[in-house]
Every structure is written in C-alpha cells, then in structure tokens.
Amino acid sequence: MSYTLRINSIFLTIKPLFSMKTTADKKADLAGPGISTYQEVEKILPNDYKPLLQPLERMNALYAVKDYIEKNLCKELNLSMVQVPLIVDRDSGVNDYLDRDGSRTPVDFPCGLGLDKPIQAQVVQAATKWKRMALAQFNCKAGQGICTDMRAVRKDYFLDHDHSSYVDQWDWERVITADQRNLDFLKEVVIKIWKVIYGAGKHAQKLYPKLKTGNYPDFPEELKFFHAEEILEMYPDLPRKQRETKILQEVAPAIFIIGIGSVLKDGYPHEMRAADYDDWVTPTVVKKGQQYYGINGDILVWNPVTKRRHELTSMGIRVTKDTLKKQLMISGQLDFLKLPYHQAILNDKIPLSIGGGIGQSRTYMYLLRTAHLGEVSVTVWPKALKEICSKRNIHVLE
C-alpha cells in the first residue's frame, strides 16, 4: 500500500512506514539550508572556542590554501582557470535555481542605460549551467575542462555559522565521453578532489604549525563512499541531516553520498536537487535486490570545531537530453525545455560533462579550524548572530 504526496510541485510515492512526526520531519528536511532560528544557533556554537590563527595570519593561510587548491585541482583534473560571470541574462536559463521547489530565487535587476528595452539581468547563484555551455565556448575536448573563481549571491539562505548570502566556489566542469557516464568514473574524480583538499590541509599545517593541534583530530586521508539508500537503511527513522550527522560520527569522518535527488525507498529524496544539471535518475547498481540511482553526490566531513556535519562540495555527472527530460518531468518543470540552455542540451550543442562546486569559505573554515564562515569571508550578518558569536569568542570580519 502506498499513496502519492506532492511537495512543492514534486510528486513522491510515500510508503506508510513512519509516524506522522517522522514524515513531517523528513519533509521539512528536504531543502532550505540553515538552522532556521538564532536560538538554535546559540545552542550549537562552541562554548570553548579559541581561534588558532589571528585574523591577518588567517588571511595569509587562506590564500596559501586557495593557491594550492586552484593549482592542484587544475593539475589533477586537467582544468584551466577561466573568467566566470557574476550576472547573466534572466531569459537564458543559465542561472542556477539550486533546488527544484522554487524556494531560492535569484536577485533580479534591469541594466543597460540608454537601451529601449533594458536587459533583465540576474546575479548568479552558481555557475553550474554556464560552465557546461562554456566548455563549448572554450573548445574543450574530452578530458579537458575549466575551473572558475566564482562569486554569487544567494539571498534566500538563513544566515547561520556556515550559510551566508555571499557565496564563493571553485566551480569546475570537464568534458567526458559517453562511456565515462558511470559510477566508477565518478568515484575516480571524487578521490582526486579529496586528495587535493586533504593536501591543502597538510600544506596549511606545514606553513602554519599552530593549525596542527591536539585539540582536534587530523584530517582523514581516506574518503568513504555511501549511496543515499545505504545511509537510509542504517538510520531509517531519521531525517536527512541527522542521518548525515550519525554516519559522520559513527562510521567515517569524511564521506561522499551518492544519488542525491533520486527518490529513495522511504519515498523521499535524500535532498532536493535541481533537475537540469546533475543526473540523479540514471540506474547504477543493484544491492539486496534494490535498484540504486544517481551519478552525483556530495562530499561531507565531520567538523571537530563546530561538532557538526559540514558540506564541502556538490558535484556530479551531468544530464543527457534523455535524463534532462525525465528529471524535468519528475519535477514538474517541462516548461524549462524551451530555454536556451536546455535547448542546447537537447540539440547536442554542448558536450557531455562532469562538474561541481567546491565551497571556498566552507573549505577554509574546515582546513583553518574556524567556528564561523565570517572568520574567513566578509559579508553581511544579522546583529543577533554577531552578538551570539561575540559571546563565544567568535569575531566575524566586517
């Protein structure tokens, strides 16, 4: 017995395995990053925090990490650093909507003084779609790719210790062949990315020995892979973020979760994921008689400073014309197919690819052992949050 539930334009088949409270918790946990109240933020920030580096020293360490990651990411994945847009044409379909429930919308504004019809521009939320189109613009061949020092604005985030409206990412994309659209290839790329992040942490410790402290465990050298279905099987009654927390605490402090966006055995996706870039419907392996889906995922780590789950990157093998249509149908967004970006996929104008976005400030926060994004980036924070941080010896940059 099952029934169909609509969650913000997405129809999910929900099996009645859970109490009403658990079902409500899981539904609420599908999207919308951030803790949601400053009372909760106050509970989770560390009470005994002592920054390992002073602000200026931290900035020097930050740029050493930045330089290391950019050089070695390009080396490992055969990428070239390129320029990236801060604004795009609203009608191009290139902007990233981050999820598929419509809850996170871009900043819109008209521009072009003297034009009879101003350009309707948007500030990018991520360069996910632009990068794939840019592969053709830069004439990248199979095995070649691009990396960007991307800046974005995401106005619909709750502002807490690891979510801000200002976003900086290494947004990268690489051309692949049809036979590379599989789980093994995805894992090979993920391992190379983790090698770079781990290496950046060790590089920072070498340059700034204060970062290597007995107060925190060292960075894990090994990253372990789990499909979202496997994590659900381990913790069937927990919402997504609690499942992630448990596996990072109990199984491995650095993991890659495969198959984010596909509907799992309990009737819910692990997390909402946009329908028009990562491929989360392609079948991969069968385990215990159950088909697993998705050739995408996230790297998460256990942050010993905040004592919380900490997401570093989302990435995946991108949709084909067939999986694009399938995912847009599931998400109730088939009208997107008329947009230039989607037309380019349908008409084979842009290559098959794999790509992702590595959060820069999130990575600095993890590697430089800070308790708040505001210690490694400058943006706006609410007065209530700054007051809470000040009480905890956390001093954000302004």
List the catalytic residues. 96, 154, 169, 298, 311, 314
Q: Which amino acid is located at 112 in the chain?
A: G
User: Which three-class secondary structure state does DSSP give residue 64?
Assistant: helix
Measured CA to CA, the distance from residue 269 to residue 135 in angstroms comes to 30
User: Which three-class secondary structure state does DSSP give residue 308?
Assistant: strand
Measured CA to CA, the distance from residue 65 to residue 75 in angstroms comes to 15
Q: In the chain, what's the furthest Cα-to-Cα distance?
A: 64
Provide the sign of the torsion angle of the four alpha carbons 260, 266, 268, 270, taken in this order. Answer: negative
DSSP-derived letter for residue 140 is P
For 98, the token pair is 């981050």
Q: For every residue of 112-132, which 3-state class applies, written as one string?
A: CCCCCCCEEEEECCCCHHHHH
For 44, the token pair is 């989770």
Number of H helices, E strands in the chain: 11, 15
Q: Between helices 183-207 and 360-367, what is the axis angle to 10°?
A: 50
